[in-house]
Amino acid sequence: MHPIFRLVNRNLTISLNMGFVIWQVIFPVIYIFVAGFAYTALIHNVPFGQKSLNYPAFIASGMIGFNIMNSTLISGIIIWNDRRHGMFEQILVGPFTRAQYILSNVYTIGIIGLVSAGLITAIGYPIFFKSVEFSVLTVPLVVFASMTGAILFGSIASIISTRLKSSEGFNVVINTVFLFFAFVSTAFYPAQGAPPILATAFYLNPLTYLVDVVRAGIFGTLLIW
């Protein structure tokens, strides 16, 4: 087996525990089924391209991009744990190059990101199935956007994990950065109608692009977007 795949195998084994899977499912389920329906009292319909989506469908589709971002935190955690528990140096004195170590993390992020996207799509499908318009063109684009987004956010998490020395610092910085990404984006609400400064900030955030491409792919508005 190629060294990168051996490292991916190892990364997946050490990362995928029951706690992580539950966190990956419970968190978005609460957003979709609790926040999604609770907020319908305030938000009835959300305009998206030529469509008007009900809020649960809007947030369920937004949760896919949100969950991809969340799941890629694992990459930062893998590197952080490897450094903290001595495995980083141990791997580098083994039959691997630094490039293979980094690429294995990128592949791990890509796999976790895609699985995560698939999982939330499955969970959210009953909510947004009425408006779904998948096509041969949009599906590969959504997959591409999901992987690109996963790698981007995974890389950000990885960079943070290599720069910080204390676990408290790592937790504070990673949570602050990802909180900003999550809430200053179109994952939970549309940019239209938001104060202009906030709307501009939305579009400085890569999560907005990931969420919008995924959402446009699901609802068949990709070309319009």
Partner 1 sequence: MLCIEAKSLFRSYGNVTAVDGIDLSVESGKIFGFLGPNGAGKTTTMKLLTTLIPPSSGTMTILGIDASRHPLDVRKKIGVVLQQPSYEPTLTVEKSLEKYGMMWDVDVKTRKERVEELLTAFDLQDIRKKKNDDISIGQRRRVQVAREFMHDMDLLFLDEPTAGLDPSARRGLLDYIKGKVRDGLTIFFTTHILEEAEYLCDEIAIINRGKIIAVDTPDELKNKFGREKTIKIRIGETQKEISGILQGIGNYDIFRDEGTVITIHSADSEQVLVKILQALQSNDIPIEDLSVVPTSLEEIFLTVVKNSNASNISSGK
Do the beta carbons of residue 44 and residue 55 sit within 8 Å? yes
Q: Name the minimum Å distance from CB 158 to partner 1.
A: 18
| Residue (82 or 212) nearer to partner 1, CB | 82
Q: Name the minimum Å distance from CB 205 to partner 1.
A: 32
Q: Report DSSP state, residue 54.
A: E
Measuring CA to CA, which residue among 112, 102, 152, 98 is closest to residue 14?
A: 112
Q: How many other C-beta atoms are found inside a 10 Å radius of the C-beta of residue 141?
A: 15
Do the beta carbons of residue 64 and residue 127 sit within 8 Å? no
Q: Name the minimum Å distance from CB 7 to partner 1.
A: 7
Helix, strand, coil percentages in the chain from 3-state DSSP, rounded to 5: 75, 5, 20
Do the beta carbons of residue 7 and residue 87 sit within 8 Å? no
* C-alpha–C-alpha distance, residues 63 and 57, integer Å: 10
What is the binding site for partner 1 (CB under 8 A)?
Answer: 1, 3, 6-7, 9-10, 13-14, 17, 81, 85-87, 89-97
Residues with Cβ within 8 Å of residue 144, at least 6 apart in sequence: none
| Residue (162 or 200) nearer to partner 1, CB | 162
| Residue (95 or 193) nearer to partner 1, CB | 95
| Residue (1 or 197) nearer to partner 1, CB | 1
| Residue (60 or 73) nearer to partner 1, CB | 73
Q: Name the minimum Å distance from CB 92 to partner 1.
A: 6
Q: Name the minimum Å distance from CB 15 to partner 1.
A: 8
| Residue (97 or 171) nearer to partner 1, CB | 97
Q: Name the minimum Å distance from CB 55 to partner 1.
A: 38
Measuring CA to CA, which residue among 96, 84, 70 is closest to residue 10?
A: 96
Q: Report DSSP state, residue 184.
A: S
Looking at the chain, how many residues does it have?
225
